[in-house]
Amino acid sequence: MLNEGLHLPDVGAVILLRPTESPIVFYQQIGRCIQVGADQAPIIFDFVNNFRSIRAGDFLQDLEDAKSLEKAKRADFGLEEYAPTVQVIDETKEIIAVFDEIEDRLASWESMYEKLLNYKKSHNLRQSRRLGL
C-alpha cells in the first residue's frame, strides 16, 4: 500500500518490492521520487526486477513519446521547450554490496575518520602531522 498514490516532496528514492508487469504501475511507483527541479538525481532500488519485465526499450520509448507530446503542448501555448535530461542507468549489484554502499553514505564523520586511520595503517602510509593522523 505504500505506492498507492502518495507523492511527498523531497522523496529522493524508492524501493520496489512488488513485482509488476504493468508499465502504468511501474511508472507510478518510480514517479514517487521523480521531481522537477530536484537537487539530486532520484535513486530507484528495483529488488524484484520490474525494469526487466517492463523492458528498458519500452520505457525509454515511452519517455521519448511523453517528451514529444509535452513539447507540442508547450508550443501550442507559446511556451519555450522544456525537457529535462533523463539518464537511465541499469546496474545489477549483489545486495550485500548495495547495503555496504548505503551504510557508507550514512556513516558519521567519526566512523569515516576511523576508516581513514585503518586504511593508512594497513597500507603503511606516512602519518600527516597537519591533520594529526
Residue 90 is classified by DSSP as: -
- For 69-99, the pLDDT digits (tens) are 999 999 999 998 877 777 777 777 777 887 8
C-alpha cell recorded at residue 14: 524508492
What's the rounded mean pLDDT across residues 115-119? 88
Comparing C-alpha atoms, which of 80, 106, 78 is closest to residue 13? 106
Where do we find the cell 507559446? 78
Cα–Cα distances in Å, from 31 out to 15, 44, 108? Answer: 12, 10, 30
Instruction: Please give the residue that has the higher pLDDT: either 4 or 59.
Output: 59
Provide φ and ψ at 101, rounded to 5°. -65, -40
- For 23-77, the pLDDT digits (tens) are 888 888 888 887 767 777 888 888 888 877 776 667 778 888 988 999 999 999 9
What's the predicted TM-score (pTM) here? 0.49
Domain residue extents for the chain: 1-91, 93-133
Q: How far apart are CA 43 and CA 52, in angstroms?
A: 17
**Sign, Cα dihedral of 93, 96, 98, 100:** negative
